[in-house]
Structure formats: structure tokens, C-alpha cells
Amino acid sequence: MRFWPLLNRTTKRNHPKKPVIHSLTITRFFFSKYTEEPEPKEFIDYLDSLKNYEKLGVPKDAGTDSDDGLDLGRMRRLMDRLGNPQSKFKAVHVAGTKGKGSTASFLSNILRAEGYSVGCYTSPHMMSIRERISLGQSGNPVSTKTLNKLFHMIKPKLDEAIQLENGSLTHFEVLTATALTLMAEEKVDIAVIEAGLGGARDATNILCSSELAASVITTIGEEHLAALGGSLESIAVAKSGIIKHGRPVVLGGPFLPHVDCILRDKASVMCSPVVSASDAGIRTSIKGLIVLDGRPCQLSDITIQVERDFPLFIELSDVKLRMLGRHQLHNASTAACVALCLRDQGCRISDKSIRAGLENTFLLGRSQFLSSKEAEVLGLPGATILLDGG
């Protein structure tokens, strides 16, 4: 996490070369008001007893759909043991190198604005593992009480599965299974699931066509290059593994031409209609910055007019985005495309809810300006501070 003091404007000339403050202690102090609940220690200890590739690093080619890839079979067997909770609701599956967490949050808030009970699963977390799972209408992290109750209920089945798999089940697999079981227990109307690594062999990729409302692939870049086959092409192939037969896929992009071809070819093979948020019929613009409730937001226009595969249309003017930057505007338009695809399938989603969901989305540490009081806590009174981190 980085704390950047800004002068008058955010430019390369006045942007400091190094973070002024890089302190875990200060970060914990600042975010303590968002994590006041005690942590689910027993569940965390249980997860920590398992292999955690987020800490160890992902093995070479582990995310590829090959003999060297992670064993998706053990995840399916675990879900079978838990009663296949993922079959109890429809889901949107989001993969991509960058932007998938923000896109998932935008979409989740659109659905909540329409009145749906939403399950959202993202990774990684900033301060608490509870941040990865939200349930219902609030969008808040799952409570420790709810998580503990579910963990104690399924622990015997988790123990059995770990023993039968000779201890090979991973931290992420068990956490994913727990999140999906929580969503089923809470009877969510729809879930938004972010893939952890790649797509084809990711633990989240146990959704079949009948359970999937749509797939989303935000961007393709060289992150986790070795784990995903060593090239942009192999990464695109891995992420295209979330495309399911007959289910729509929304592409964020823009992609290099050969990468775009890989994704579209897979969609064609799977008979999946495609919507691209980088299509010429989708136009976005930032009109300027305004201050709302003491914090800056960008005034943006979004127009979506697509006729191929799906007849999608929406025109939103003066959307007040709290997530700043052109990349976040693109993530917002990608989420709006997904919402329109869902509406085309019969989901009740109004233009008003799409606007409200986009405007209500805010993530800690993502292009976040601190208030003057928060700046004083950091010992920088009078400074304008931008908090931005991965």
C-alpha cells in the first residue's frame, strides 16, 4: 500500500519517485475502522495449515489446461461432498489480468441497486480475509459470526476431503468452496465470482453452463507469465477456459489482435455470443472532476449501443464515479455491458440501477483520496494524499 502526497495536480513532474509512507503499522491503523470485528481465527488457522500458492508462488504451468495444470478434479470432488452449492444460484464468472476485482464490484453494486441479494467473491484481500466474501444487499465483508457458523458446519466434510485427497487441497480451493457454500446457505439470487489465477484450472472454474449467467474477461497481460504457459497466447487460452457452451461472454479489452482472435475463436467453438466493451459502439468520456461528500469523483458519460449478437443500449450522462481514472471508467462500462447482457436474458435491471451501482462503487486503496482528517493522522496536515495499491 502506498501513500502519495500530491501537489496541485497529479502529473509525472510532481509525482514523487518513492512512496512517502510505506508502513504496515499506519496502514493497519487507517483501516482499523473497517475491520473492527475480530477475525475468524480458527478458520484462518485451518486455511493456514494448507498449501497457499499466494505465499509460496504458483508453480510453472500450474494455471494451464495441461498435465502440469492444477487438478480441477479435486475441487469438483470437494464440491460434490459439500452438495454442489454452486448449483443453487446463477453466477457471473470474471477473469482477467487487471480490472477483474473492480469490474466484479461494479457489477455486484448494480445488482444490489436493483434489489437482488448478491454474493461476491474476490481476491486478494487488504486487511481481513472476510473482505473476499460479501453477501446480500449490504456489500460489506461477511461477518465473523456467519463465517464461523458455516465453517463449523462444513468442517467434518472438509476434513474428510483433505484426507481423501492426501492433503493436496489448497488454501484457495477450501476458501473458494467455503465462499460458494456461504452463498448457497444465504440463498443469494446471483453471485459474481472472480477467478484467482488464469481461468481453465482455477478453483472457481467449477461452474457448468446451466449455472453460469455470463463470463467476463477483462484484460490479458503478462502477470503470472510462467504459471500460465509463458506467453500472452497461452495466458489468453487459460483465461478463455471460463467460457461455457452457449453462455454469453463479455470482453473488456482492448486486446492485441491475435489475443482477441484466441478469445473469439474459443467463444465460437462454445457457441457463446460475444460483447466487447472496446467495440466502436461503446463510447466513454471523462468530463471532469467534482467534489462529492468531501471526496473527488469523476463526471463521466457512458454510451453502449451494440447490435451484433446482443441488441444492447444504454446512454448515461454525468455518471459520478468514485473510482477514478480511465481504466476504472472502462471497468465500469464493462460491468454495464454485463448488466445489459443479463437484462437481455430476462433479469430485471433498470438503467437507474446501472447508474446507481456504478456511482455507489468504492474500493479501499483503489485511487482513493484521503480526507484532511486522515491526512493529519498520517502526520501530513494540509496535504492531499492519494492512496493507491494492489
The single residue listed with the C-alpha cell 472496446 is 278
Which strand (E) or helix (H) includes residue 221? none
- Is the pLDDT assigned to residue 368 strictly greater than 70? yes
Q: In whole angstroms, give the CA distance from residue 374 to residue 10.
A: 19
Torsion region of 136: left, alpha or beta (phi above 0 gives left; psi -120 to 50 gives alpha) = left
Q: Which of 145, 191, 144, 120 is nearest to 363 (CA)?
A: 120
pLDDT at 26: 45
The single residue listed with the C-alpha cell 480475509 is 129
Domain ranges of the chain: 2-388
User: What does the mean pLDDT of the chain come to?
Assistant: 90
From the CA atom positions of the chain, what is the Rg in Å? Answer: 21
Chain segment 111-145, per-residue pLDDT in tens: 999 999 999 999 998 889 999 999 999 999 999 99
| Mean pLDDT within 13-38 | 50
In this structure, of 132-146, 204-218, 356-370, 375-389, the range with the lowest mean pLDDT score is 375-389
| Mean pLDDT within 189-200 | 97
Q: What angle do CA 28, 34, 38 make, to 5 degrees?
A: 80
The answer as to CATH 3.40.190.170 being correct for domain 2-388 is no
pLDDT at 32: 53
pLDDT at 31: 54
The grid coordinates of residue 199 equal: 481461468
Chain segment 256-312, per-residue pLDDT in tens: 999 999 999 999 999 999 999 999 899 999 999 999 887 889 999 999 999 888 889
Report the 3 state secondary structure along 132-180.
HEECCCCCCECCHHHHHHHHHHHHHHHHHHHHHCCCCCEHHHHHHHHHH
Q: In whole angstroms, give the CA distance from residue 176 to residue 81.
A: 14
The answer to whether the peptide bond before residue 124 is cis (omega within 30 degrees of 0) is yes
Q: How far is CA 349 from the centre of its chain?
A: 20
The answer to whether the peptide bond before residue 257 is cis (omega within 30 degrees of 0) is no
Q: In whole angstroms, give the CA distance from residue 370 to residue 383.
A: 9
pLDDT at 365: 72
Chain segment 242-253, per-residue pLDDT in tens: 999 999 999 999
Question: Do 150 and 110 meet the contact criterion of CB atoms below 8 Å apart?
Answer: no
